[in-house]
Amino acid sequence: MLFRRLGGGLSHQCEVNRNIMEKFLFLIREDLSKLKQWNEEERYNAIREMDKWVKFLVEKGNYISGDALRICGSYVNKDQVLSDGPFIEAKEGISGIMFMEAANLQDAISLAQTCSFVQSGEMAIEVRPLMGVKDIRELGNEGRTTGG
């Protein structure tokens, strides 16, 4: 969904100290071919609707940042560069991203479920917990250590 910027595998990897807010990535998934067909009025109506939800998340203190993705772009792998996106031969693609804070994965899922586009079936949101890896710029010349 278009919106303005306002501001693994083991199960134990999702468990952290419950007193600290966890960070999550919301991958906004929609029918990209449908989005391409929208006229300007439809696009801005969707932006306004998404803005209402984002403002709700800001007021709750969960929203960190986010942005809509343009439909154009490139898909790069070892053997080729495809630049005629959407990049997967599927109806659904990623139309935006959001970074959120929530108490835990279930809380983040509950936040995603408050989106009117999710409720109407026009959008899906993939909720992924961030690992919290220290920013490489903060490491300087020291290397990463393994967990233990």
Q: Three-state SS for 96?
A: strand
- The better pLDDT of the pair 79, 145 is held by 79
CATH class of 21-132: alpha beta
d(CA 109, CA 73): 28
Is the Cβ–Cβ distance between 2 and 43 less than 8 Å? yes
**Residue reference for tokens 């391409």:** 36
Residue 111: Cβ within 10 Å count: 23
Residue 103: both structure tokens together: 């108490």
What is the percent of the chain where pLDDT is above 70? 75
Q: Three-state SS for 134?
A: coil
Of the pLDDT bands very low, low, confident and very high (cuts 50, 70, 90), residue 79 is confident
- Angle at alpha carbon of residue 20, lines to 16 and 22, rounded to 5°: 65
Task: For 7-22, write each residue's pLDDT tens digit.
Answer: 444 344 454 444 579 9
**CA of 62: how far to CAs of 19, 21, 103, 111, in Å?**
15, 9, 9, 9
Out of 30-39, 51-60, 69-78, the most confident range is 51-60
The per-residue pLDDT of the chain, averaged, comes to: 82
- The better pLDDT of the pair 144, 11 is held by 144
Task: For 41-58, write each residue's pLDDT tens digit.
Answer: 998 999 999 999 999 999
Q: What average pLDDT does the segment 88-105 reach?
A: 87
Instruction: Give the pLDDT of residue 11.
Output: 42
